């Protein structure tokens, strides 16, 4: 199932230190030009996602809203977070293919 692979790969990227988790770290990653991909949980509040969406558009970084909830992502990542910035081009490329498969 693509979603299981997506979360597994996201967990691997976290263990490799290639992601930023949470609103402020994701914004910082975008502003510093390190983010290659941003993933948002399905149940992330509109207030929280609005600023991240704007920053991602400004930096021309692809952004996807997943079917997974904050709790699903937290289980895969070991930390509860509804927003994730992927800072590695290889991980970002593979994750984008999983997002497109849905």
CA dist 58 and 93 (Å) reads: 20
Query: In this predicted structure, what is the pLDDT of residue 99?
Result: 87
Whole-number percent of the chain with pLDDT over 90: 88
Per-residue pLDDT at 1 exceeds 60: no
Query: In this predicted structure, what is the pLDDT of residue 2?
Result: 53
For 48-54, what is the mean pLDDT? 94
Assess contact for 94 and 69: CB atoms under 8 A: no
Please indicate, yes or no, whether the overall pTM of this predicted structure exceeds 0.85: yes
Give the CATH number of domain 2-101.
3.30.1330.30
Every domain of the chain and the residues it spans: 2-101
Of 98, 100, 74, nearest in space to 9 by CA: 98
For 80-89, what is the mean pLDDT? 96
Query: In this predicted structure, what is the pLDDT of residue 102?
Result: 62
For 62-78, what is the mean pLDDT? 93
């Amino acid at each position: 199932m693509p979603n299981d692979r997506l979360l597994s790969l996201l967990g691997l990227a976290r263990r490799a230190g290639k992601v930023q988790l949470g609103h402020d770290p994701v914004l910082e990653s975008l502003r510093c030009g390190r983010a290659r991909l941003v993933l948002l949980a399905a149940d992330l509040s509109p207030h929280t996602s609005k600023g991240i969406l704007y920053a991602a558009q400004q930096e021309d970084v692809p952004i996807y809203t997943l079917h997974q909830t904050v709790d699903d992502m937290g289980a895969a990542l070991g930390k509860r977070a509804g927003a994730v910035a992927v800072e590695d081009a290889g991980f970002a490329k593979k994750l984008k293919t999983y997002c497109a498969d849905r």
